[in-house]
Amino acid sequence: MPLTSSDAAPADLADSADLAAVPRKPNRHGGPEGNRRLTAAVGALLLVLFAAQGVTILFLGQLLSWHFFIGMLLIGPVCLKIGVTGYRFVRYYTGDPAYRRQGPPHLLLRLLAPLVLATTVALLATGSTLALLGRDTGPVPVLLLHKVSFVCWATAMTAHVLTHVWRLPRLIGADLRRRSAHRDGPRIGGALVRWSLLAAALGAGLAIALAGTPLASSHW
Ligand code: HEM
Ligand code: HEM
């Protein structure tokens, strides 16, 4: 059973006759395919940062400051990931013809996505609270909530990554290759904008991490 939108004709393309009538407008930034490539590129960056964060969890006693640093560094790329997938969601449900033609993610992915989003926000929010308040968080067991959200997040994220990781090489390769290959589909613009957005998100995360880590370390 195909699990991603490019593999299956979603049922709600009933109005494809109407969509076919809508002239295809070239999009300078690559439209839905550009959105897809940026989503994949941020995903790949997150995968690397999650792996590094995983190492800090295994050696938390020695690497707590690195846990804070990488945890805060993640905030930038996570915000970009939520932004780019949220943009697709809004364009699709507000009837943008190009996004309608692309179709929505498979139903299972649409059901998984809110879990991926909510557990990610919970993990970073509880972590940030621990950084700001330290061990004593009053009546709210923030450290317990941080660990519980981690378990829920790890479950949802494993399903998300196992579904999507196969498509990273094509989607990211398409923006790396100087001359587009046949499997890249039609040539689209906006690669520089996408790489700049990725660099800006990482830069924002770095600023948060550089500012926040000394503060967090002073509490732990
Ligand atoms: C904080 C972590 C992450 C969040 C919040 C997140 C969220 C999302 C959401 C909401 C979607 C759209 C629904 C879907 O198609 O499943 C999506 C799509 C996708 N994600 Fe993630 N994701 C995260 C991490 C990752 C990672 C680590 C990877 C690496 C494998 C990844 C790869 C992808 C890909 C390839 C797509 C489909 C792009 C497309 O075809 O449009 N994501 N992500
Ligand atoms: C804003 C970023 C983050 C901050 C400030 C933060 C802070 C903390 C703190 C203070 C602890 C407790 C350390 C102790 O008991 O001595 C902790 C534990 C933990 N954190 Fe984070 N964290 C952050 C992000 C993350 C992320 C992104 C993950 C997972 C991807 C994560 C997973 C965990 C886990 C699993 C533990 C429990 C480890 C254990 O008790 O064995 N944290 N974190």
Quick one: pLDDT band at residue 139, thresholds 50, 70, 90? very high
Tell me what the pLDDT averaged over the chain comes to: 89
Provide the percentage of residues in the chain whose pLDDT is more than 70.
84
What are the residue boundaries of the structural domains of the chain, listed by start?
Answer: 29-177+187-218
d(CA 24, CA 177): 25
202 near 76, Cβ under 8 Å? yes
Look at residue 135 and tell me whether its pLDDT is greater than 90.
Answer: no
Pocket of ligand 1 (CB under 6 A): 4, 36, 39-40, 43-44, 46-47, 78, 81-82, 85, 105, 109, 113, 116-117, 120, 160-161, 164-165, 167-168
- Whether 131 lines ligand 2, by a CB cut-off of 6 Å, is yes
Look at residue 180 and tell me whether its pLDDT is greater than 70.
Answer: no
Look at residue 22 and tell me whether its pLDDT is greater than 90.
Answer: no
Mutational test site, ligand 1, from 53, 73, 85, max ligand atoms within 8 Å of CB = 85
Give the list of residues 6+ apart from residue 41 with CB closer than 8 angstroms, or none: 171, 172, 175, 194, 195, 198
Using CA atoms, how far residue 170 sits from 67, 83, 124, 165, 185, in Å, is 31, 22, 30, 10, 10
- Ligand 1 atom closest to 116 (CA): 5
46-88: pLDDT as tens digits:
999 999 999 999 999 999 999 999 999 999 999 999 999 999 9
pTM for this model (two decimals) = 0.89
Q: Whose CA is nearest to atom 12 of ligand 2?
A: 143
Mutational test site, ligand 2, from 67, 133, 208, max ligand atoms within 8 Å of CB = 67
Using CA atoms, how far residue 12 sits from 4, 92, 94, 106, 183, in Å, is 15, 11, 14, 12, 26
Q: Residue 216 Cα, ligand 2 centroid: separation in angstroms?
A: 11
- Whether 154 lines ligand 2, by a CB cut-off of 6 Å, is no
Q: Residue 198 Cα, ligand 2 centroid: separation in angstroms?
A: 25
Element spanning 16, H or E: helix 16-21
Q: Whose CA is nearest to atom 21 of ligand 1?
A: 43
Quick one: pLDDT band at residue 217, thresholds 50, 70, 90? confident
Distance of CA 91 to the CA centre of its chain: 17
d(CA 2, CA 41): 22
Look at residue 113 and tell me whether its pLDDT is greater than 70.
Answer: yes
The stretch 172-186 carries a mean pLDDT of 73
Quick one: pLDDT band at residue 155, thresholds 50, 70, 90? very high
